[in-house]
Amino acid sequence: MCRNGDLGRLDIYYDYEALSRAVDRSEISSREFYMWRYAEFLPVPSREYVVSLMEGGTPLIRASRLAEKLGLKNLYIKDETRNPTGSFKDRSMSVSVSMAKYFGFKRAVTASSGNAAAALAAYGARAGIEVYAFVPDFAGYGKIAQLLLYGAKVFRVRWIESEDPTVKIMRILVEHGFYPSPSFGPFNPYQIEGSKTISYEVIEQLGWSIPDHLFVPTGSASLLTGVYRGFYDWNAVGWIDGYPKLVAIQPEGNYPFVRAWLERVPPDPDAIRPWEKPPETIATGLEDTYPWDGDYGLYALYETNGYGIVVSDNEILEAVKLLARYEGVFAEPSGAAGLAGLVKAFEQGYVDRSDTIVVLVTGHGLKDPEVIAKSVGEPPVINPDVEEFKVKAYEHYKLRLE
């Protein structure tokens, strides 16, 4: 069941005994490195329904310079900005739209801060499915521009109360026959099946070993749930034995999920309190005032001995800069929240220096160019004169050039 008892979530399980007989991990590893190499672990009944833009197969970067800066030894960045529309949501929407095609839908609707809607619009365009997207009125234009270009019908919805208004109007359209395709479980069980492939890839990229900690930017907790389910699947078929500590990161302007973990509430949707006011954070992708997959997300934290971390907007911006300047990875604020959480977790003693750590970087910096521009300022304008160049170099960058 879900909050208020009015909506259930379908959790998908597989015949793991049959899967372990049908495919082995050496065969999986011989296939092309993208999400659909794991087709047996995904719900689409036949390849003929698969809608793909070659999502997944993203790099796991050994972040040596950043690790040295932070005082760590074994730090990895899973760079989900490399997906076709610039975020991990492409995995979710590839599965979701494939299922819409299988069921014969011609129109899909979503409620999203931007990334899930952009992914849905792209895959909808690929499949010939008409997409209607409701986004918050404060969504960045970088995300909205993607939607419009893909041909989605976009509506910015005013957010003046704590309840997410985009979800409210999306549910109305679902009652009128639209296929529900947001990136959270109670309305769309198939999307979690895409994000779980992140865990499959991490395991393979680490040589079939399990990291000690995996840091996950968290809004609705659907990504956290998907990441857990990936490890669950491969434990169930006997390919791995154990789990990393899963770590949920939320901004201090909106942390209903981490608050529930801090309060040790049971993994029951009715036990999780919604955030009492509209979200206030630069991490607009994490502004879910109610974590729709929070019950399963709490279960994932409890089962893996994981934990939650709350970070400030300033800490998130610093993480954006660290990723760019030390590893060349350009992340939006929501995408960099995991690194902000790692920095804080290390300071608070949750992480040992020698631990193997994976941080998910979930969305590209060009998704939120306005926020990034404000944080770095404008470069100086000069004439092609070397003396003026020297003066401005000192004034703006504190560089003394002889």
Task: List, for residues 266-285, the tens digit of each pLDDT value.
Answer: 999 999 999 998 889 999 88
Alpha helix positions (H), 104-164: 115-127, 141-149
Q: Could you tell me the pLDDT band of residue 164, with boundaries at 50, 70 and 90? A: confident
Written as one letter, the residue type at 376 is V
Buried b (16+ CB within 10 A) or exposed e, 202-220: bbbbeeeebbebbbbbbbb
Q: Helix or strand or coil: residue 162?
A: coil
Q: Could you tell me the pLDDT band of residue 77, with boundaries at 50, 70 and 90? A: very high
pTM of the model: 0.93
Taking residues 128-145, report their average pLDDT: 86
Numbered ranges of CATH 3.40.50.1100 in the chain: 16-86+191-371, 88-180
Going by the DSSP 8-state scheme, the letter that residue 381 receives in this structure is -
Q: Could you tell me the pLDDT band of residue 8, with boundaries at 50, 70 and 90? A: low
Cβ(220)–Cβ(254) below 8 Å: no
The Cβ of residue 354 has, within 10 Å, a number of other Cβ atoms equal to 10
pLDDT in the model for residue 3: 37
Angle between helices 222-236 and 197-205 (to 10 degrees): 60
pLDDT in tens, 13-39: 899 999 999 999 999 999 999 999 999
pLDDT-wise least confident of 141-145, 154-158, 263-267:
141-145
For residue 247, give Cα distances in angstroms to 22, 125, 265, 365: 33, 34, 17, 22
Taking residues 184-189, report their average pLDDT: 86
**Strands lying side by side in the sheet with 60-62:** 60-62, 74-79, 356-361, 213-217, 245-251, 307-311
Q: How far, in Å, CA of 125 to CA of 130, rounded?
A: 7
**What's the start-to-end Cα distance of the chain, in Å?**
69
1, pLDDT greater than 70: no
pLDDT in the model for residue 5: 39
Q: Smallest Cα–Cα separation from 362: which of 279, 265, 283, 308?
A: 283
Going by the DSSP 8-state scheme, the letter that residue 274 receives in this structure is P
pLDDT in tens, 307-366: 999 999 999 999 999 999 999 999 999 999 999 999 999 999 999 999 999 999 999 998
50, pLDDT greater than 60: yes
Alpha helix positions (H), 245-332: 256-262, 294-303, 313-327
2, pLDDT greater than 70: no
Going by the DSSP 8-state scheme, the letter that residue 265 receives in this structure is -
CATH among 3.40.710.10, 3.40.50.1100, 3.30.2000.10, 3.40.50.300 for 16-86+191-371: 3.40.50.1100
Alpha helix positions (H), 237-312: 256-262, 294-303
Average pLDDT of the chain is 93
Enter the tokens of residue 191: 């999307």
pLDDT in the model for residue 397: 84
State what percent of residues in the chain have pLDDT above 90: 77
Q: Helix or strand or coil: residue 52?
A: coil
- 88-180: what fold? Rossmann fold (3.40.50)
Q: How far, in Å, CA of 259 to CA of 254, rounded?
A: 9
pLDDT in the model for residue 6: 52
Pairing mode, if any, of strands 307-311 and 245-251?
Answer: parallel
